[in-house]
Structures are given as C-alpha cells and as structure tokens.
Amino acid sequence: MQTFFIVAILLLGFLITFQIAKASEYVSVLRGEEKSKRQSNRVNAFLLLMFLILGLIGVYYCNVRLSPKILHESASVQGEKIDTMLYITIAITGFVFIITQISLFWFAFKYQASEERKAYYYPHNNRWEVIWTVIPAIALTVLVGFGIFYWFKITGNAPNNAMTVEVTGSQFQWDFRYPGKDGVLGKKFYREIDPANNNPLGQVWDDPANYDDVHVTKDMHIVVNRPVKLIIGAKDVIHDVGLPAFRMKMDAVPGTPTTMWFTPKFTTQQMREKTGNPNFEYEISCDQMCGKGHTGMRGIVIVETQEEFDRWLATQKPQYYAAFPDKDPSNQKKDTTQAKPTSAMVGSINSVKTKQ
Ligand SMILES: [Cu+2]
C-alpha cells in the first residue's frame, strides 16, 4: 500500500511539473517569446544581485552576532601559533571569497543577455590558467607547510622539564595516570586490564615502575607554565582528546599510543578572572563519535601552580596500593595499632565466611 502511494505521488508530481512547463510555454507563445525571455533574464539578474547583497549582509551579521561566542584567547603557548595560522587562513580565504563572489554575481547582472551585444567566444588562455593555478598552489603550500611544521613540533619531543600524563579513553570516560616520583610510567599490557581487581588500565604489577603510578579519573591536574606531554591511548574504540581552550586535539587509538605536548599559560583561577566567569573550567571533550555516551565523555583539566599540584599529588595513593592493600604502608601501620574487632565487625567477617 505504501509503495502504491509513493508511486502515485511521484506520478502526480511528474504530471504537475509537465503541465506547468506546458502552460508556461503557451504563455510565452501568447506574449511573444522574445519579450518573455528578456523579462525573465532581467528578473533572474536582479535576483542574483539581491542574493549577493543579502548574502554578504548575512555573513557580516552572523560574524557580529556570533563573534562573542568564539573561544577566548589561547590558554597554551603553542595554541597562539595555531590561532595565528587560523587567522591567516581565514584572511586569505575571506579575501578570495569576497572578490570571487562579488565578481560572480556582478558579472551575471551586468552581462545578462541583451540584444545589444553578442557573447564573445573566449575558450582558452594559457597565461591566465597558469596564474590562477600557481598562485593558489603557492598560497596553499605555504599554509600547509606552516601546519606541518607546528604539527611536528607539537607531536615531537617535549622539552626536558615537561611533565608526563597518560590519558586513556574508553566508553565513556577518561583515565589519567601520573608516573609518580620515579618519573616513569610503568608497563601496561591489555590482558592485565582487570577493573574488578583495581587494575582498569592493565598495569603490569611485575614492573617496579608501576608501584608509584597514580591513577585518577574525571579531573586531569597540570601545572601552569610547565610543558605537559600527553601519552594518549584507548581501551575500546577510537576516541579523541579535545582540549579546545589550549587549541589541542589528538586521536586516542587502541593499541597505538599517540602523543602531544603543550604549555598551559593560565591557571584555572586566572582564567576565571580573565573570563569573568567564576565557574570556568578547562574542558577535555571526546572529539570522536565513539558511541552512545560520546557526549558524556567530559573531563575537567585543572591548571594550577607547581605547589598546588604537588600538594594534590601527595594526597593521591598509587594504584598499586588499591590493587594490593596489604602493601600500603598506611594500612600496615593501622594493622599494628588496630583495636580489637568490634562485634559488628566479627558479624560481618562471619557473614563473609558463610558466603564462601
Ligand atoms: Cu570517546
């Protein structure tokens, strides 16, 4: 039944179009073909000119209206270069856009069909072809060249004083790992991933470098004016570390670590003062459509001073102690000073026993 209606509607649509075309043909015959042609030429030329004027006013209006909504000044040193590149690209393409669009629609209006002149047949000019091929090619090469230069910089070796944070994406959250006092991230192996036993990242516990690695979720702490190198990975599908305030972005690919580094310029606190927004937070978003909960993959980047960072890190326990509580020195201390078990505790111990 549905198919029948679709076919019927299509047939009707075809019939109506055909009838309209036929009717307008009769009208032009009655009016005199030349006259109606001239009239429709004039109308079309005028509409094209209107389209240009209204379109350009629209472009200007959107620009004025939406410019307060664009991102504030880059919050990273490297982001400044990326902004400059973006502005140069917009300036060049904007200039070309304005010139070509005005020429296109103005010519269509000015040189509309007329009895007073005949179109000049001008099929080919080598010199012009070379000019309009070579100039854009040079402009694009320069733009792409700068892009590649900064790309290699950001993805290349970080300065020696850089701190390291490992970022792991999964459906649907971000995990962050800090190397601890030794400055080395312990080895990982995907088969070791075992969230039930406090090993969500698959840290290899035989590697001593893992003993002091700190694992946190949701918030990533980094230090102002100190380069930070992100080592990025994923556990399931491709995610993407998006840091718009810093103008940084990098895919998180399962099995293939990616890296990027940048230097934050302002602490979260400074940014709150700068933006006048007391609730400002640096956001880490997932910039890759990674599944149903993609939009909820929001993390917070806290940029703070070195002292604040050290204080925060000192409050974090290495993941190793979560996986092996008996190795935790604070637990061992507790054991020696522990009071006699209360009756409630004995009850719970017994219930655990009976469960087994
Ligand atoms: Cu994602």
Does residue 308 register a pLDDT over 70?
A: yes
pLDDT for res 36: 76
The Cα–Cα gap between 255 and 39 comes to 66
| Cβ atoms of residues 42 and 115 within 8 Å | no
Tell me the CA–centroid distance for residue 286 and ligand 1, in Å.
5
Tell me the CA–centroid distance for residue 236 and ligand 1, in Å.
9
Task: Report the 10 Å Cβ neighbour count for 236.
Answer: 12
Tell me the CA–centroid distance for residue 254 and ligand 1, in Å.
12
pLDDT, tens digit, for every residue of 166-178? Answer: 999 998 899 999 9
pLDDT for res 344: 43
- What percent of the chain stands above pLDDT 90? 46
Tell me the CA–centroid distance for residue 193 and ligand 1, in Å.
19
With tokens 């701190």, the residue in question is 163
| Cβ atoms of residues 201 and 215 within 8 Å | yes
Tell me the CA–centroid distance for residue 241 and ligand 1, in Å.
8
Does residue 17 register a pLDDT over 70?
A: yes
Region 221-229: mean pLDDT is 93
Can you spell out the DSSP letters for 27-88? Answer: HHHHH-HHHHHHHHHHHHHHHHHHHHHHHHHHHHHHHHHHGGGS--S-SBHHHHHHHHHHHH
Query: Quick one: pLDDT band at residue 25, thresholds 50, 70, 90?
Result: confident
Tell me the CA–centroid distance for residue 77 and ligand 1, in Å.
26
Tell me the CA–centroid distance for residue 260 and ligand 1, in Å.
18
| Residue 74: Cβ-neighbour burial (10 angstroms; 0-12, 13-18, 19+) | buried
The DSSP letter of residue 259 is: E
What are the respective helix, strand and coil percentages of the chain, to the nearest 5?
Answer: 55, 20, 25
pLDDT, tens digit, for every residue of 131-165? Answer: 999 999 999 999 999 999 999 999 988 898 889 99
Tell me the CA–centroid distance for residue 198 and ligand 1, in Å.
22
Tell me the CA–centroid distance for residue 283 and ligand 1, in Å.
14
Q: What stretch of H or E contains 220?
A: strand 219-223
pLDDT for res 57: 93
pLDDT for res 334: 54
Tell me the CA–centroid distance for residue 242 and ligand 1, in Å.
10
| Higher-pLDDT residue of 61, 200 | 61
Which range is least confidently modeled, 2-6, 142-146, 335-339?
Answer: 335-339
Rg (CA), the chain: 33
pLDDT for res 212: 83
| Higher-pLDDT residue of 239, 72 | 239
| Cβ atoms of residues 321 and 327 within 8 Å | yes
pLDDT for res 205: 84
pLDDT for res 350: 40
Tell me the CA–centroid distance for residue 79 and ligand 1, in Å.
23
Does residue 68 register a pLDDT over 70?
A: yes
Tell whether pTM > 0.85.
no
pLDDT, tens digit, for every residue of 29-46? Answer: 776 777 778 888 888 899
Residue 202's nearest CA partner among 224, 184, 185, 219 is 185
Tell me the CA–centroid distance for residue 203 and ligand 1, in Å.
21
The Cα–Cα gap between 44 and 97 comes to 22
Tell me the CA–centroid distance for residue 238 and ligand 1, in Å.
7
The Cα–Cα gap between 143 and 38 comes to 46
Does residue 332 register a pLDDT over 80?
A: no
Tell me the CA–centroid distance for residue 217 and ligand 1, in Å.
14
Q: How far is CA 32 from the centre of its chain?
A: 59
Tell me the CA–centroid distance for residue 293 and ligand 1, in Å.
8
With tokens 């047939």, the residue in question is 11
pLDDT, tens digit, for every residue of 273-304? Answer: 988 889 989 999 999 999 888 988 999 999 99
As a whole number, the mean pLDDT across the chain is 85
pLDDT, tens digit, for every residue of 314-324? Answer: 888 888 877 77
Region 48-60: mean pLDDT is 92
